[in-house]
Amino acid sequence: MTEPLIFGRGFSIATLALLQALLPPAVAVGSLVVLCHLYSVEFSEFFTVLAIIVAVLASVLPRGRAPGSAQLPTGVVSLALGVVMRWMMIVAILLAIGYVTKHSEDFSRRVVLTWVVVTPLLLVIGVLALNEVMRRVIHDPAAARRVAFIGCTDASKALAQRLSDNAGALGFRVMGFFDDRSADRLGLCGDMRLLGSLQDLAAYVRQGKIDVVFVALPLRQVQRVMDVLEQLRDTTASIYYVPDIFVYDLIQSRSGEILGVPVVSLCETPFYGYRGLVKRITDVVLAAVLIVITAPLMVGIAIAIRRSSPGPIIFRQRRYGLDGREIVVYKFRTMTVLEDGDRVVQARPGDARVTRVGRFLRRYSLDELPQLFNVLQGRMSLVGPRPHAIAHNEEYRRLIKGYMIRHKVPPGITGLAQVNGCRGETSRIEDMQARVNYDLEYLRRWTPLLDLKILLLTAVRLLRDEKAY
């Protein structure tokens, strides 16, 4: 269920979402215009271009959960931190653009520095004020819409529970179910109750006791569905159909249409549309910066590897990338062997194949630095599921359900599994299952802020990771 649900007093989720979308670009551009005026600086064509870029970035970077998709943010500190972090991302992108275009000297430093400091404060104040307005509107008891379900299925009970848990945020009040079976057979519990049979529905709605009806009858009972819809034709109730898709492990599920035909995605990459652009820009900018910073270190590592043991400096290994396509991943060589065949033996504590220099590199994950070039090539991302050797992929795809879904996104240098302690040897199937679970959770929850959080946790974990060997 997406945007069309209407709150009482004429407020709609779409209206509230629109206000949320317009606030960041309006505040960012407005503060820039005001500061130019206060400092008596001409708002030149360069400032106009800057305002356009900022407006676009502030619009496309996710602002968190929209009212209607989940509960409104309640933690002032976490909300303010999220706003500041998104602003820092915008500033970082602007600095990169200024460095590449060589136009940074065309702007008043006093205006820009003041703008960079003041704008996040204004954004925090604006977002807090808007959330308070939203909260008062949504929590108004008079705005609550009464909801009933036709058919008591796993899908309808799951949706009813979620609506009840988020009643204050969504403005719904679940009244109950209509089903031809008895309450004992339905297994209802808690506040869920049976309101009557399917024949009782139309009269109940006509009495004004129900505002929204969710039809959750199985598709095989198409005639019953048509009969129910016919009964509701002379009522004003909003009607939605709930397909029984909760039996499927949903990855980035969303509804839409293709050439006018409604469709529901059950498994899709999170990097569709502008999200993919945001992900790619972030990867390129941060990877380029990290390569410049670590270039002297990589040169020193290359010299140490060359002098310490025979063999190439860079180890190339075939792995699976986006959509399961084969890619070549770069690493500093840390072993005396270069395994890339049908059988690849994982490194384990005290492994004799690991060189003296390699042991140090693996301890602090410095052997992964060449993968920054994989990121620039577009083969990898800074954050994503770690790529495994092809031999391991072919083994685990047969043993773990949903294993290949992790390849719906580019593999990463680090990932959610790694910052949660899932790295090192996977001697048991349960070890790899835990990694895959985190990888799929990453696909479900992805936002630019989650990527930034994983990168920060990775930097902290490198100093005290006992599973690096």
Burial of 293 (0-12, 13-18, 19+ CB in 10 A): exposed
Find the helix packing angle between 76-101 and 274-308, rounded to 10°. 70
Residues of the chain with CATH 3.40.50.720: 144-247
Mean pLDDT, rounded, of the chain: 82
pLDDT at 71: 39
Give CA separation, 74 vs 71, 122, 166, 450, in Å: 8, 19, 13, 19
Q: Per-residue pLDDT for 130 more than 90?
A: no
**Per residue in 238-273, pLDDT tens?**
888 887 665 566 777 777 766 666 677 767 888 877
Ranges of H-type helices in 166-211:
167-170, 183-186, 201-206
Alpha carbons 149 and 239: distance in angstroms, whole number: 10
Average pLDDT of span 286-292? 94
Task: Return the minimum-mean-pLDDT range out of 135-144, 242-251, 287-296, 408-417.
Answer: 135-144
**Per residue in 165-212, pLDDT tens?**
776 656 778 888 998 888 778 877 767 888 888 888 888 888 878 888
pLDDT at 433: 92
Alpha carbons 43 and 61: distance in angstroms, whole number: 25
Q: Check: CATH 3.10.129.10 for 144-247? A: no
Q: Per-residue pLDDT for 333 more than 90?
A: yes
pLDDT at 61: 65
Average pLDDT of span 382-409? 89
Greater confidence (255 vs 436) lies with 436
Quote the percentage of the chain above a pLDDT of 90. Answer: 31
Q: Per-residue pLDDT for 7 more than 70?
A: no
| DSSP string across 109-157 | HHHHHHHHHHHHHHHHHHHHHHHHHHHHHHT-GGG-EEEEEES--HHHH
For 364, the token pair is 């602090």
Average pLDDT of span 89-109? 85
Q: Per-residue pLDDT for 155 more than 90?
A: no
Average pLDDT of span 448-464? 87
Alpha carbons 413 and 384: distance in angstroms, whole number: 7
Contacts 24+ apart (CB under 8 A), 28-37: 28/54, 28/55, 28/58, 28/90, 28/119, 28/123, 29/54, 29/55, 31/115, 31/118, 31/119, 31/122, 32/111, 32/115, 32/119, 35/111, 35/114, 35/115, 35/118, 36/108, 36/111
Average pLDDT of span 316-326? 89
